[in-house]
Structure 1
Amino acid sequence: MANVLRMLGIHKRFGPVKALGGVDFELEAGEIHALLGVNGAGKSTLIKILSGVYTHDEGTIEIDGQPVELGSPRAAILAGVATVQQHPELVPDCTGVENIFLGHEGRKPGLFARIDRTAMRAAAQKLLQRFPIEIDLEARVGEMPAVDREIVAILHALRNENTRILILDEPTSTLTEREKASLFQLMRSLRAAGIAIIYITHRLEEVFEIADRFTVFRGGRNVATLTSQEATERGISIPELLLDEKAGDLFPERDGKADGDVLLEAKGLGRSGLFSGVDFELRRGEILGIFGLVGSGVDELSKTLFGAIRPDEGTMQVKGKAVRFRGPHDALKAGIFLVPGDRRTEGLAMTQDVVFNTTVAHLGRASRLGGLLKFGRNRLDTEALARDVGLQPFELDRPVSAFSGGNQQKIVIAKGLFRDSDIYIFVEPTVGVDIGARAKLYTLIRELSRRAGVIVMSSDCDEVHGLADRVMALYKGRPVETGGWNASRDQLLSAGIMGARAA
């Protein structure tokens, strides 16, 4: 097929740092092309050049065989390039139709300018006829499931009829398997319509499911472009391409059966309409894994254990003492720390720097008598934790909004380590984190469990099964029998996605 995009010899530097060193990248019309690379490999820089956020230092860009200068996001849109960010900025109180045409609503003629809602609805229906997908665009975006919000963001990007290239940045990071199937259905429709898709993902299994080709970035260069079939036939390991080394075992070795004291116990814990009947014990020296898809009640359970949601049934004990938390402040006093799954809204102050976000978790440790901050000490502590989690780039004065999603996740985990608690709850701990950094974070969590009790809650079955000493599953708010604490990966997966009890 003909190339819709050619990027040749692209260089980009940020001061002394070489982000891209002579990258070549080609995209065919009507293909889904996965872009892979660990955090800092250069893929985000390439995409920002293509979307007009950055200008390249050297090289050429051609769209449909014609040289183009993409000096601004507007220039990129006019050239037919549209981008859907990992966290689309939508207006939750507006409908899907209103979000699609936000800023391009059209006006009815007359003395008083009014939005032409009839024309907007008609244009939205034309989009759905062109790219068939089931979605209620009259619903408010804030009430939509995650996949529908992603679809609205894509339709917003496609409202311009000249769009030829669509960039999707980690679109499945918060989707269930069923929601992912709906998104992939839309992507296939776009491909059939001749739209080329650049698909950025850290979920390597999705490459073989949806992508026609994939390109691996490492150290600011394109190191391989292959089809999935070529990779399989030649026995090429994508993780080894990403890391330039043998991938090895992603998960650290387990220490054996934990025999520490019981730190946290739940009996019949529930909250009406969210989850019910949850029983478990957490001991010092172990990782308890809880697997559940989005909507299973896992997130609500984590917030209940942290005091943000009050249970209406069951009991909790911390170190043998019955507790009823009035809020997170009580949970913190009891020695519980939550690393939330939604880092942007619940885990980080996005406009503040790394030092602030790390030390705000424990102001008692971060300040002297009278409330004066220990600026020097706090910076040294943050530097040590940033090294532990592998923060890149190592710029502690940078606002966290300027870091990639994976590095933002590292900062949230550093914040938890600064707190020095007895009980840690990690929700989706490696969302948006590349495979190399993921292994390091798993090792940190394992080391943490040697002095504390750790709960890992995740919609990634492999993560739960590979990391935890004991496992359980939630399905539609109810615990499901997994065949004992030593459940196999398949038993855990079946329990979490179908509610099927182990044989």
Structure 2
Amino acid sequence: MGAESFLAMRGIDKRFGDVRALNDVDFELEAGEIHALLGVNGAGKSTLIKILSGVYSKDAGSIRIDGEEFALGSPRAAIEAGIAVVQQHPELVGDLTGAENIFLGQEHRRSGLFSPVNGQDIRRRAAALLERFPIDVDLDRAVDDMPAVDREIVAILHALRLENARILILDEPTSTLTEREKESLFEMMQTLKAQGLAIIYITHHLDEVFEIADRFTVFRGGRRVATHGVAEAQREGISIPNLMLDSVAGDIFPPRSDRVDGEVVFEARDLSRQGEFEDVSFSARKGEILGIFGLVGSGVDELSKALFGVLRPDSGELHLNGRRVRFRSPAQALKAGIFLVPGDRRTEGLSMDENVIFNTTVANLGRASLGGFMRFGRNRRDSGALAERVDLQPRKLDRPLRGYSGGNQQKVVIAKGLYREADVYIFVEPTVGVDIGARAKIYTLMRELSDRAAVIVISSDCDEVFGVADRTVALYKGAPIGAPSREITRDHLLHAGIMGEAV
């Protein structure tokens, strides 16, 4: 395609001090194409996107769009060039309507501090946008009342509100969507593609590449290592994980435990909460990992919160180390020896503006302080040792968590749990937005933890639950399908979670 490509980035270099984040990178994108951008965290794909969106300035190379060269030295310059970006966690105002969010910051047709906001004009402009991109979404609805996919669509329409938009960058748009919502988003992407829009699609879900993309490009170590058409890759059996990891990728899951007589640490007996889950029973043992699979809306999220004292069950019992327990708050659960790695690490698991040391030690202040004073030297040493154990990259202990990738943020949550030294670890959606390399490390850490504690993995990813757990069970509309078992197959587990039937 070369110089004829709609977007042609040639010889792009970028350094941060001694680190060469991009090394002589070429990237091409065609109009009316969905192009997946892949690579482990730190591979260089985020740096490339930030150069294209004007957040970073390139050190060398050229960028041409439709034959015209652009410097793109600022976000405004990128917008003026027709580049629209939807971040992984788009910032929307929940109590405003979809239409109001789309034109947030552009409510006034006329300049002036006291120009009135015309609600009818905003609705007319929103209707015109839907005529341009025919998508089924109610933009008069408050964003807080929308399903996740509609919020994602609002964020996309906000990015496309300018008439000159011709390149759309989507960063992990399906990370919080159900399978059905994902299908709706993909339908919208096909609509945008048919309009001639060029789409760069960043994802860690490799199965989605073959479902939605026309081509994919893999980055590794700051270089572009491969670009293939999806049909070509399927025909020739090209392995994306092998390209990403520079090796023949083996099973990312560590070997299962063969222990069947481990000490029971944590039990649920007929646990129920009206309208959310019912009659859930399990035993979590030291030496093995218990897996609970359930789609979004199946009750798995509410169950995890009940196990950690965020929600109170209506009936049933919890037993920890042989004694019945009742948690009225997460603080009580934490004190008793339960640690939850939450599904939404940004809002429930981390203080994004604080550094690695603070986030690692905050859940165990009794260990981190003495006589009311923080043990700064010891805390730095302990945090450094844990950062090394979880393979945090880069190992910058004073860096705020906002400066880390999703996978590395998740590693800090796990380091926080390791510092706590709990009896029970509950992992909820542990690898959302995490690349394949970081996933393998997280699964290995789970297996190591299971040697001394009970580990429970709760996820809407069937392959994850089946791959990492020793015993598994599915939750369907709040009810467990059968009992946790070592004998259930992956297909049977998936069938139970989707259809609610044991096979």
Q: Residue 79 of structure 1 aligns with which residue?
A: 81
Q: In structure 2, what is the equivalent of residue 400 of structure 1?
A: 401
Aligned with 1:302: secondary structure? helix
1:294-316, CA deviations, whole angstroms, 9 ceiling, x for partnerless residues?
22111111111000111112111
Match of 1:32 among 24, 31, 34: 34
Assess if the C-alpha contact under 8 Å between 1:94 and 1:141 holds in 2.
Answer: yes
Paired amino acid for 2:502: A
**1:454–1:353 distance in 2 versus 1, CA, 3 Å:** same
Report the secondary structure of 1:121's partner residue. Answer: helix
Aligned partner of 1:258 in structure 2 is 260
Aligned equivalent of 1:12, options 11, 14, 28: 14
Once the two structures are aligned, what percentage of the paired residues are identical? Answer: 69
Among candidates 161, 164, 169, match of residue 163 of structure 2: 161
Equivalence map 1:72-471=2 (5 Å)? 72-107=74-109, 113-368=115-370, 370-471=371-472
Q: Which moved more, 1:389-398 or 1:46-55?
A: 389-398
In the comparison of the two structures, how many residue pairs are matched? 501
Aligned 8 A contact 1:457 1:464 in 2:
yes
Q: Which letter does structure 2 place at the counterpart of 1:20? A: L
Q: 1:60 Cα deviation (Å)?
A: 0.6
CA distance in 1, matches of 2:434, 2:260: 28
Letter paired with 1:498: M
C-alpha distance in structure 2 between counterparts of 1:316 and 1:477, whole Å: 17
The answer to whether 1:493 aligns with 2:466 is no
Residue 290 of structure 2 aligns to which amino acid in structure 1? L
Equivalent-residue separation in structure 2 for 1:142 and 1:365 (angstroms): 39
Shift of 1:279: 1.1
Per the normalisation by structure 1, the TM-score is 0.97
Q: Could you tell me whether the CA contact under 8 Å between 1:108 and 1:115 is conserved in 2?
A: no
Instruction: Map Cα deviations across residues 241-296 of structure 1 (whole Å, 9 max, x no partner).
Output: 00001101111101213312221111221222222221111111111101111221
Return the alpha-carbon distance in structure 2 between the equivalents of residues 3 and 100 of structure 1: 30
What is the deviation of 1:32?
A: 0.2
* CA distance in 1 between partners of 2:14 and 2:477 (Å): 48
Contact 1:82–1:158 (CA<8 Å) still a contact in 2? yes
Query: SS state of the match for residue 124, structure 2?
Result: helix
Distance 2:386 2:276 in 1: 35
- Distance change in 2, residues 1:483/1:340 (3 Å): closer
Q: In the alignment, is the contact (CA less than 8 A) between 1:472 and 1:485 conserved in 2?
A: no
Deviation per residue, 1:204-241 (Å, 9 max, x gap): 11111100000000010100000112112222211010
- 1:484/1:392 CA distance change after superposition, 3 Å: closer
Shift of 1:498: 2.5
The alpha carbon displacement at 1:4 in A equals 2.0
| Deviates most, 250-259 or 77-86 | 250-259
TM-score (norm 2): 0.97
Residue 110 to residue 14, structure 1, CA distance change in 2 (3 Å): closer
63 and 109 in structure 1: CA distance in 2 versus 1, 3 angstrom threshold: closer
Preserved contact between residue 39 and residue 244 of structure 2 (Cα < 8 Å): yes
Unaligned residue ranges in structure 2 (runs of 5+) = none
Could you list the per-position Cα deviations for residues 301-337 of structure 1 after superposition, in whole angstroms to 9, with x for gaps in the alignment? 1111000111112111111211111101111121100
Give secondary structure in 2 for the equivalent of 1:114: coil
Deviates more, 1:103-112 or 1:270-279: 103-112
Separation in structure 2 between the aligned mates of residue 171 and residue 158 of structure 1, nearest angstrom: 15
Task: Measure how far apart 1:193 and its partner are.
Answer: 0.3
For 1:188 and 1:5, the matched residues in 2 are separated by: 19
Letter in 1 for 2:373: L
Q: Which residue of 1 aligns with 2:5?
A: 3
1:481 aligns with 2:446: no
Amino acid corresponding to residue 145 of structure 2 in structure 1? E
Counterpart amino acid of residue 384 in structure 1:
A
CA distance in 1: counterparts of 2:281 and 2:403, whole angstroms: 41
Q: Cα RMSD (Å) of the superposition?
A: 1.6
Distance (Å, rounded) in 1 between the aligned partners of 2:38 and 2:187 = 21
Letter in 2 for 1:450: D
Counterpart Cα distance in 2 of 1:472 and 1:19: 43
Amino acid at match of 2:415: A
Q: How far apart, in 2, do the equivalents of 1:112 and 1:31 lie?
A: 43
Unaligned runs of 5+ in 1: none
CA distance in 2, matches of 1:110, 1:389: 53
Secondary structure of the 1:60 match is strand
AA aligned opposite 2:443: Y
Residue identity matched to 2:133: F
Deviates more, 1:24-33 or 1:121-130: 121-130
Write the distance in 1 (CA, Å) between the matches of 2:115 and 2:254. 63
Q: Aligned match of 1:58 in 44, 57, 60?
A: 60
Range with bigger deviation, 196-205 or 269-278: 269-278
Maintained 8 Å contact 2:273/2:314: yes
The more displaced of 462-471 and 489-498 is 489-498
Alpha carbons 1:409, 1:432 under 8 Å: kept: no
The answer as to whether partners of 1:258 and 1:284 remain within 8 angstroms in 2 is no
Moved more, 472-481 or 308-317: 472-481
Q: Secondary structure at the match of 1:317?
A: strand
CA distance in 2 between counterparts of 1:274 and 1:188 reads 35
Amino acid at match of 2:444: T
SS of the aligned residue for 1:296 comes to coil
SS of structure 2 residue aligned to 1:35: strand
Q: Kindly state the Cα deviation for residue 132 of structure 1 after the two structures are TM-superposed.
A: 2.4
Report the residue type matching 2:377 in the other structure.
G
